[in-house]
Structure 1
Amino acid sequence: MVRTLKNLSDLKETRFGQPPPRHGLSLLWWFAHDCVQIDSNGRMTAKCNPTNGTFGFKRFHNSDNLLPKIKLPYYEVGNLHNAGSLPDYVTENYSGYSDSSNKDRIIVSFNSRLNKFEKIYVTQHSDKVHFDQNHTYCISTDLLKEIKQLSRDKFLKGRTNRSEQLSISMPPSVQRRQTNTCQSWKCRCALIGCGVLILLAAGVTLYCLLKPK
C-alpha cells in the first residue's frame, strides 16, 4: 500500500526532496502551481499534457509494481537528464552526475479522455534504474491545495528544516548535567579563591608578627 500524504506536516515528515541539491520540492511546487487545477469537487484537471512529452514527461510502465495496477497509463516527470522546458528553479542545482540532484520524480495516472489526473505520486530513485518503494507517496488534493496557497520561498523554507539543522536541542537530562557541572565548577573556583585569600592573609599576619622591631 502506498501511503497518502494529507497535509504539509505529512510531507515534512517524509523528508521528500531533502536535503539540497535534491529538486523534488521545487518540482512538486511547480507541478501544483503550473500543471494541475483542482475544482470544488476535487477533480484534478491537467493544465499540461503528459502524453506529448512536454516538460520531459514520459510513460512509466510500472514494471516493478511500484504503484497499483490500473487501466490508465502512468507518466513520470522530473528527470533532469531530459528536463524539457522545466523552469530554471527546478533544474538549477542539477550537477549532471549520478547524484542526489536528479533523484526525485513525480508520477501521475492520466485520463486523457477527461483531461484529468486520477492520482499523483512522488518518489525517489533507490539506484540508477529502480524507485524506492519505501519512499513513494500519494499526494492528496488537500495537500496540493495547501501548496498552491504558498509562494515557492515559503514552501521551501517550511519544508527544509534549516533552523532545526542549525539548532539541535538537547534532552533535559543533558541540560541538567551541564547546568550542574557549571554550578559545581563555579563552586570550586569560589572555594579556591577563598583559600588563596586566607593563605595571603595568614602570610601577611605571620610576617607582621615576625618582622624585627
Structure 2
Amino acid sequence: MKTLYDLSDLRESRFGQPHPRHGLNLLWWFAHDCVQIDFNQSMIACCNPENGAFGFHQFYNAGGLLPYSNLPYYEVGNLNTTDSLPEYVTEKYTGCSDESNTDRIIVSFDSRWNRFDSIYVTRHSDLARFDQNHTYCISIQLLKEVKGLNHAEFLRKTMNAQSPYQMNFHQNSNIYSQFTASSQSLQGQRSHQSTLGDCEWCAILLFVLFIFACLFVFLMKK
C-alpha cells in the first residue's frame, strides 16, 4: 500500500477528485477537527470513534483491504449515515448513486491512549467494496501539512488543474486581474484628465494676469 507523504502525493493520487467527490473536504475537516499531533509525534484523537460521533462506525476489514491490526478500525465519511459533518463536506452530496459519497477515511484507534495508530483514505469501487488500488496511508508529515493550511489554500494546492474548482479559481483570478488592469487604466485616464484640467486653469490665470499687466502699463504711460 502506498503512503502519501506530502501534498504533491495527495494531488497525484487524485483522492477526492473530481467533482462532486467530497474526500478532500473530508480530509481537511478530519485533520483540523479530529486529530492533534503531540511532541512525541503521536496522533491524539479529538473525537471518539467508538461513540459514533460524526458517523464513525467500525470497519471490520473482512476483505483484507488494510494491514492486520490488533486495534479496531473505524471509518467515517458516509454521508448517508450522518448529519453532523460540516456543510462544506456535505454540500455536494446528491443522495444518488454517484461519486458524491464515494470517499472514506479509515482509522485504527487505540482507546487506551486515545490516539490514532494509523490513518487511511480510500474510495468505494462499488456500493459494497472499497478499491484496493485507491487506498492510501496518510503520513504524519502530510497530516501536518494539511493542518497548516486553511481550507481554500488546501484545495488550491491539492486539486488538479482540470478540476472544476481549480478552473474556477483560475477564471476568477483572470477576471480579478482584468478588473485590476481596467481600474488602473481608468485611474490613469482620470489622473491625466485632472492634470490637463489643472494646466488649462493655469493658462487662463496667466492670460488674465497678462491682460491686467498690459492695462497697468497702458494706464501708467498716460
TM bracket, shorter-chain basis: 0.7 to 0.9
Aligned match of 1:97: 96
Partner Cα distance (2:108, 2:37) in 1:
15
Partner Cα distance (1:75, 1:163) in 2:
32
Partner deviation per Cα, 1:170-191 (whole Å, 9 max, x = no partner):
xxxxxxxxxxxxxxxxxxxxxx
Partner Cα distance (1:97, 1:143) in 2:
32
Partner Cα distance (1:52, 1:69) in 2:
23
Give the drift of 1:84: 3.7
Aligned residues: 165
Aligned match of 1:60: 59
Identical aligned residues as a percent: 64
Contact 1:106–1:120 at 8 Å: present in 2 too?
Answer: yes
Q: Which amino acid aligns with 1:85?
A: S
Aligned match of 2:10: 11
Partner Cα distance (2:82, 2:149) in 1:
24
Partner deviation per Cα, 1:58-115 (whole Å, 9 max, x = no partner):
0000000000111100000000001241111000000001110000000000000110
Give the drift of 1:161: 2.2
Aligned match of 1:107: 106
Partner Cα distance (1:163, 1:39) in 2:
37
Determine helix, strand or coil for the equivalent of 2:12: helix
Q: Which amino acid aligns with 2:26?
A: L
Give the alignment of 1:76-91 within 5 angstroms. Answer: 76-91=75-90
Give the drift of 1:163: 6.2
2:128 maps to 1:129: yes
Contact 1:54–1:84 at 8 Å: present in 2 too?
Answer: no
Give the gaps of 5 or more residues in structure 1.
167-213
State the TM-score, normalized to the length of structure 2: 0.72
Give the drift of 1:162: 3.3
Aligned match of 2:26: 27
Partner Cα distance (1:98, 1:124) in 2:
14
Partner Cα distance (1:145, 1:133) in 2:
25
Contact 1:8–1:143 at 8 Å: present in 2 too?
Answer: yes
Q: Which amino acid aligns with 2:140?
A: T
Partner Cα distance (1:14, 1:161) in 2:
10
Give the gaps of 5 or more residues in structure 2.
168-222
